[in-house]
Amino acid sequence: EIVLTQSPGTLSLSPGERATLSCRASQSVRSSYLAWYQQKTGQSPRLLIYGASSRATGIPDRFSGSGSGTDFTLTISRLEPEDFAVYYCQQYGDSPPYTFGQGTKLEIK
């Protein structure tokens, strides 16, 4: 089972700033099969990125994903007030179970 470790646990930034969230895998994720989700308090997760770098339908282009192997990054180029939430990475390159990171909370500074 691939373990995903996200850092930092909490990131405090101001609107307009750039956010960089990290997801590190315990072993290489096959073919960059990694997704990112956003979850706001009391809501279901929302798919942002799949295949490490492809934006899901309707996701603004300020969200971008990169990385391969064991190191992946979600970047939000210019934070909007609605972007403050918890972000999870998920790998699906290995056989089940499909595992998630523990999450990064992005909070307003």
Q: Which residues bind another protein (CB under 8 A)?
A: 33, 35, 37, 44-47, 50-51, 56-57, 88, 90, 92, 96-103
Cβ distance to another protein smaller for residue 37 or 84? 37
Cβ distance to another protein smaller for residue 15 or 69? 69
Least distance in Å: CB of 25 to another protein? 15
Least distance in Å: CB of 7 to another protein? 14
Least distance in Å: CB of 100 to another protein? 4
The residue written with tokens 């990475």 in the block is 89
Least distance in Å: CB of 46 to another protein? 7
3-class DSSP string for 14-25 = CCCCCEEEEEEE
Q: What are phi and psi of 65, to 5 degrees?
A: -125, 150
Cβ distance to another protein smaller for residue 34 or 79? 34
Residue partners of 49: CB distance under 8 A and separation at least 6: 34, 35, 36, 55, 56, 59, 63, 64, 65, 74
What one-character DSSP code corresponds to residue 52?
Answer: T
- CA 6/CA 40 separation, integer angstroms: 17
Cβ distance to another protein smaller for residue 13 or 45? 45
